[in-house]
Amino acid sequence: MCVARGTCMLIRAAASLPVLFFGLLLPISPSADQNDPGLDALFERIAVTDDPEEATVIQSKIWRIWVRAEQAEIDRLMEKGIEALATNELERAIDLFTEIVEKSPNFAEGWNKRATAYYLNGDFNASVRDIERTLALEPRHFGAVSGMGLIFLSQGDNVGALQAFTRVLEINPHAEGAREQVRRLNQALQGQGV
């Protein structure tokens, strides 16, 4: 399933459905994509804060940065794609996000949003390919890793799902959905003698 060595480790690592979709409807900020210089400080801070409210604010800031390409055409397409996802127009969303990744192939969130649309449309193989691309561009993308966890769960791969959700917590210790999945999966795997 993995296209590059090392990517499997990242991919076999993710949170919960709310984390995957958390960034869908956030307002756009003036920051730009996965290369924004402010992301490093945000990830450093979320790793050490003990304040859940601060963590929520930081997560929101990260998502707002990721979703913005600072290219007017790409940003318009992103807004339309997000609207299509929100109204469950999955084929339209896939078409819009495909246009984004064709026009801006180094924009990680274009790949992540298309992965989400593919996932919701039941095309897990296409979703995995786009998650791999997202993580190649932004290895800290806890939403993409979470998506892999959900795919592993849907395929009955509890070990892969546990690795994914554990990885989400390494990136973002405040991903409560991931924490709950880790707890639940640990119990299930212990019950199976794994």
Tell me whether residue 78 is in a domain: yes
The C-alpha R_g of the chain, in whole angstroms, comes to 16
pLDDT for 172: 96
Domain CATH number, residue 111: 1.25.40.10
What sign for the dihedral angle of Cα 185, 121, 102, 96? negative
The residues, any chain, with a CB within 8 Å of residue 179's CB and separated by 6 or more, are: 169
- Give the Cα separation of 158 and 154 in Å (integer): 9
Domain count, the chain: 1
Question: What values do phi and psi take at 17, rounded to 5?
Answer: -50, -45
For 174, the domain range is 7-22+36-191
The secondary element (H helix, E strand) that includes residue 63 is: helix 52-66
In a domain, 161, yes or no: yes
One pLDDT digit (tens) per residue for the chain, 194 residues: 333 333 333 333 333 333 344 343 333 344 467 988 899 999 999 999 999 999 999 999 999 999 999 899 999 999 999 999 999 999 999 999 999 999 999 999 999 999 999 999 999 999 999 999 999 999 999 999 999 999 999 999 999 999 999 999 999 999 999 999 999 999 999 877 65
Within-domain flag for 40: yes
Q: Does residue 31 lie in a domain region?
A: no
User: Which H, E and C letters describe 92-158, residue by residue?
Assistant: HHHHHHHHHHHHCCCCHHHHHHHHHHHHHCCCHHHHHHHHHHHHHHCCCCHHHHHHHHHHHHHCCCH
User: Structure pTM?
Assistant: 0.81
Residue 139 lies in a domain: yes
Residue 28 in domain: no
Residue 30 resides in a domain = no
Q: Is residue 2 assigned to a domain?
A: no
Please count the other Cβ atoms lying within 10 Å of the Cβ belonging to residue 2.
Answer: 14
CB neighbours (10 Å) of residue 125? 10
